Copies of this chain bind each other. A is one copy, B any other.
Amino acid sequence: MDAVPLYRQLATHYIDAIRAGSLKPDDKLPSLRHLMRQHGISLSTALQLCRSMESEGWVEARERSGYFVRRPRRLAMAAMDEPAADRAPDPAQFVGIHAKVSDFVARRRRVTDKLDLSIARGAPGLYPSEALRRALTAALRRRPGMLAVAAPLKGHLPFREVLAQRSLRLGMTLSPDDILATNGCIEALNLALRAVAQPGDTVAVESPTFYGLLQILESLDMRALEIPTSPQTGISIEALELAIRTYDNIKAVIVVPHLQNPLGSVMPDSHKERLARLCEQHAIPLIEDDTYGALLDAPMPPRALKSFDGSGNIIHCASLHKILAPGLRLGWISAGRWQARVEMLKFAQTRNNEALSQAGAGQFMATGAYDRHLRHLRQCLKAQREQTADAIAGYFPGGTRINLPPGGLQLWVELPQRLSSTRVFEAALEERIVIAPGTLFSNSSRFDHFMRINCGWPYGEAIDGALRRLGEIVAEVISPARPAPRNPPPARPAPPVPVPHPA
């Protein structure tokens, strides 16, 4: 700790207070005189403290009055619209999402030395690699023989035990035998869909939704029926009800109840309950993808959709990919009354998962270090999301809107004047900046004026510069002839804010 100068330690103290809400926007920071007295520091140290907070955008100096906590620029933006839910949605057509995504991926890959804001991924430094390495090494030392025998089909028992235990906090009562380890949440979703639906069947999905899901559906030759989804509360239950009444071939509903990708919406518990009941009434299996729940900023983890399951009708899928170890392919599924069929499909599709990663991850998750990691991860992501949102609010033309979700690692951005994000994608790619255009998140083109921005990287000069340039590009695409107007013009480039990293 000696290496951190005193003014910086004190700045961190006050920034924490702002983050925690003890100091609110427009609150006055203690005066210089007060700071000197309270902390026993010199005038120069007190000044350094205030100026460093000012340069990072936490406070602003008001003439003759002192330093005040800034109102984040993101708060000045208008909220996103709610979707219309009073018309039955168009049955989605098979439009070749694979071709769309493949083209996107291929073009992204061709660009070297790029700044990639298109993926939904946390920086490697956000994950406890070293602690996981120790856990894996210890697991190997204890039982090297695990490399010479196939693991049980359901998965490594201690791992499933930890999952069962932790599922209690999400309101689910599961035994380890109710849980099947899978190769990531992606395999879990494949198994869930194959268990309950056939090629040609229709599956109701959120709209927009993540392209990985649309690809799974396309590869299984199933049809996606896109249901309007609120940026705040998730899938519209009214619209889903209307769709169920209108179309009689909906064989499954699949939702991301917490921090939906790309919207970031979070379903209120009352919605979860209604959704569970609606699907049960119509005997339509309900599939929950809870990849992001642990990233929600809340005093308690959110209740799983499956905690409202009365009859085994809800299939719960989740993984460690975004929350603990992007380098492990560890997911799981708890499939209610389809569990036996899911196990059979898993056996035929990939057999058991390897024991090693389950043993290592399970051991780490059984300790307090796992919850400490999650708290720290949420804290870092929160800062990164807010800094990214502030930058977009500052750098993008007026009329831009953001949905700033209460957790997770991405922002959903609506461009002004229904500007095509595909055009922004093209222009940005030439400058080695990659965004995910909204068209990737639907089989239709209705989200072309949206884009998804990753907040997984620690905010710094490179990200800030890219977002500033992106704002200019958006302005240029709107008005190619004139120099780019900006609203409000940023007073100064936001300098990088150091984000603490795990050791």
Q: Which single member of B148, B327, B328 contacts A326 (CB below 8 Å)?
A: B148
Distance from A444 Cβ to chain B, minimum over Cβ atoms (Å) = 20
Q: List, in ascending order, chain B residues with CB within 8 A of A132's CB.
A: 144, 147
Chain B residues, Cβ within 8 Å of A291: none
A126–B145 alpha-carbon span in the complex (Å): 11
Given contacts A129-B144, A147-B127, A149-B124, contact A328 B349 (CB under 8 A): no
> Are B98 and A127 in contact, with the CB atoms below 8 A?
no
Which one of A8-16, A340-348, A401-409, A467-475 contacts B?
A: A340-348
Contacts of A327 in B (CB 8 A): 145-151, 354-356
A248 at the interface (CB under 8 A from B): no
CB-contacts of A325-344 with B (<8 A) = 325-329, 344
Stretch of A48-56, A183-191, A260-268, A300-308 contacting B (4+ beta carbons < 8 Å): A183-191
Residue A173 is within 8 A (CB to CB) of chain B in the complex: no
* B147 and A141 contacting across the interface, CB-CB below 8 Å: no
Contacts of A221 in B (CB 8 A): 199
Range for the number of chain A residues in contact with chain B: 35 or more
Chain B contacts for A190, CB-based, 8 A: 348-350
Query: What CA separation (Å) do A184 and B215 show in the bound complex?
Result: 23
Contacting pair A184 B351 (CB below 8 A): yes
- A113 at the A/B interface (Cβ < 8 Å)? no
Whether the Cβ atoms of B148 and A347 lie closer than 8 Å is no
Q: In the complex, how many angstroms separate the beta carbon of A211 from the nearest chain B beta carbon?
A: 10
Contact A350 B186 (CB under 8 A): yes
Overall SS of chain A's interface: helix
The CA-CA distance from A347 to B97 in the complex, in Å, is: 13
B residues less than 8 Å from A352 (CB atoms): 329
Interface residues of A in 123-149 (CB under 8 A from B): 124-127, 129-130, 132-133, 136-137, 140-141, 144-149
Taken together as a complex, chains A and B put the C-alpha atoms of A191 and B268 apart, in Å, by: 39
> Cα distance A126–B327 when bound, in Å?
30
Q: Interface centre among A325, A328, A348, A355, by most B CB within 10 Å? A: A348
The answer, yes or no, to whether A357 is at the interface (CB within 8 Å) is yes
* Bound: A353/B187 CA distance, A: 12
User: A349 — which chain B residues lie within 8 A by C-beta?
Assistant: 186-187, 190, 216, 219, 349
Chain B residues near A149 (CB, 8 Å)? Answer: 124, 326-327
Q: What would be 20 A-B contacts, judged by CB atoms less than 8 Å apart?
A: A124-B145, A125-B148, A126-B148, A127-B147, A127-B148, A132-B144, A133-B141, A136-B140, A136-B147, A148-B325, A151-B327, A183-B353, A186-B349, A194-B219, A212-B348, A216-B348, A216-B349, A328-B354, A329-B350, A354-B354
Using a CB–CB distance below 8 Å, which chain A residues touch chain B?
A: 98, 102, 121, 124-127, 129-130, 132-133, 136-137, 140-141, 144-151, 183-184, 186-187, 190, 194, 199, 212, 215-216, 218-219, 221, 321, 325-329, 344-345, 347-357
Additional A-B contact list (5), CB under 8 Å, known A136-B147, A215-B344: A121-B150, A146-B327, A147-B327, A219-B344, A328-B356
Closest 5 CB pairs of A and B: A124-B148, A219-B348, A183-B350, A127-B148, A147-B327
